[in-house]
């Protein structure tokens, strides 16, 4: 069976696993700080996905947020990049608005992206070269927009930071409005469908953005970091994703702001 079809079936089964498991009690722990939570369900779902992939494809490799694949440093072979629950805060507080997100790479090349809105039962998916889909409906090519007539995905936390805050504040002032959904993967799926024109993130990990990047590419959009630099799929980075016109407008904007560039470099380091 093809990896893409297997992945679609398996991610829906992982969603069913979460829905069953969340009916029982689960433990919530803080990771690095009180804003950064993890639950038993995150960990158990990652293990479920890990075992399902290896039982079917013993030679594939898997990186997951909750601890699998920490030794992986190259992209050879088939690599699954897994976020078992993207939007853990939503999971804990709302029991909705969270996703399973999986990006698959073959010898370093993007192969397919899968984002399951678990409680809605909606799967956003794309295989490179075959278009992007919401369930079985093919997504239209993303249309160009300008900042002043766009809804932009953005987390309010960045507006209050010293060095980078003013740049984000200007976006709040200039765009039609901002939205924040609490799941980077779902927000990227919304960009692919066009209900957001773009989305900006700071400090995302590969498991947050890999599936979304592939789906947005297939829908005709563009993803780089906020300075317009290509993403290295094994690294943390900022993410700017959107239709091609607004992507250019926003990268031009961020790269014209010296304080923002300095703040970005401080958090993300020099570009490799």
Binding residues for ligand 2AM (CB under 6 A): 35-36, 65, 83, 86-89, 182-184, 204, 208
Q: Choose from ligand 2AM, Ca ion, none: what does 182 bind? Cβ within 5-8 Å by kind.
A: ligand 2AM
- DSSP-derived secondary structure letter, 148: G
* Choice between 123 and 239, CB closer to ligand 2AM: 239
* Choice between 60 and 205, CB closer to Ca ion: 205
Q: Choose from ligand 2AM, Ca ion, none: what does 221 bind? Cβ within 5-8 Å by kind.
A: none
* Choice between 182 and 228, CB closer to ligand 2AM: 182
Residue 1 to residues 9, 125, 132, 240, Cα–Cα distance (Å): 11, 17, 20, 34
State in angstroms the smallest separation of the CB of 204 from Ca ion: 8
* Choice between 5 and 36, CB closer to ligand 2AM: 36
* Choice between 4 and 168, CB closer to ligand 2AM: 168
Name, in order, each residue with C-beta under 8 angstroms of 33's C-beta and a sequence gap of 6 or more. Answer: none
Name, in order, each residue with C-beta under 8 angstroms of 46's C-beta and a sequence gap of 6 or more. Answer: 64, 65, 66, 67, 68, 82, 84
* Choice between 188 and 246, CB closer to ligand 2AM: 188
Instruction: Give the span between the Cα atoms of 237 and 271, in whole angstroms.
Output: 10
State in angstroms the smallest separation of the CB of 36 from ligand 2AM: 4
Helix residue ranges, H only, the chain: 3-21, 40-56, 88-94, 165-174, 184-193, 206-218, 244-255, 258-268
Binding flag, residue 117, Ca ion (CB under 5 A): no
Helices (H) and strands (E) in the chain, counts: 8, 14
State in angstroms the smallest separation of the CB of 88 from Ca ion: 5
Closest-approach residue to ligand 2AM (CB): 184
Site string for Ca ion, 47-86 (x = CB under 5 A): ------------------x-----------------x-xx
Tokens of 175: 């765009």
Look-up of token digits 């799941």 = 183
**Among the candidate windows 51-59, 69-77, 208-216, 247-255, which touches Ca ion by CB under 5 A?**
208-216
Spatial contact of 60 and 159, defined as CB atoms under 8 Å apart: no
The 3-state DSSP class for residue 152 equals strand
Instruction: Give the span between the Cα atoms of 196 and 108, in whole angstroms.
Output: 29
Spatial contact of 216 and 192, defined as CB atoms under 8 Å apart: yes
Binding flag, residue 237, Ca ion (CB under 5 A): no
* Contacting positions for Ca ion (CB under 5 A): 65, 83, 85-86, 208
């Amino acid at each position: 069976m093809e990896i893409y079809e297997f992945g679609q079936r398996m991610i829906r089964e992982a969603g069913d696993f979460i829905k069953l498991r969340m009916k029982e009690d689960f433990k919530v722990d803080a990771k690095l700080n009180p804003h950064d939570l993890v639950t038993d369900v995150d960990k158990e779902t990652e293990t479920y996905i890990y075992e399902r992939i290896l039982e079917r494809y013993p030679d594939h490799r898997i990186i997951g947020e909750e601890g699998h694949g920490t030794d992986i440093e190259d992209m050879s072979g088939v690599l699954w990049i897994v976020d078992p629950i993207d939007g853990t805060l939503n999971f804990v507080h709302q029991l909705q608005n969270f996703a399973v997100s999986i990006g698959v790479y073959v010898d370093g090349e993007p192969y397919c992206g899968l984002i399951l809105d678990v409680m809605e039962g909606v799967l956003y998916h794309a295989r490179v070269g075959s278009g992007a889909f919401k369930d079985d409906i093919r997504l239209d090519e993303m249309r160009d927009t300008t900042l002043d007539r766009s809804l932009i995905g953005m987390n309010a936390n960045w507006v209050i930071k010293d060095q980078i805050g003013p740049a984000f504040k200007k976006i709040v002032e200039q765009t039609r409005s901002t939205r924040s959904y609490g799941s980077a993967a779902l927000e990227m799926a919304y960009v692919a469908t066009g209900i957001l024109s773009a989305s900006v993130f700071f400090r995302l990990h590969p498991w947050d953005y890999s599936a979304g990047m592939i789906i947005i590419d297939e829908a005709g959009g563009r993803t780089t970091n906020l300075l317009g630099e290509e993403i290295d799929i094994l690294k943390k980075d900022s993410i700017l994703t959107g239709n091609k016109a607004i992507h250019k407008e926003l990268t031009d904007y961020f790269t014209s702001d010296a304080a923002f560039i300095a703040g970005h470099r401080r958090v993300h380091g020099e570009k490799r």
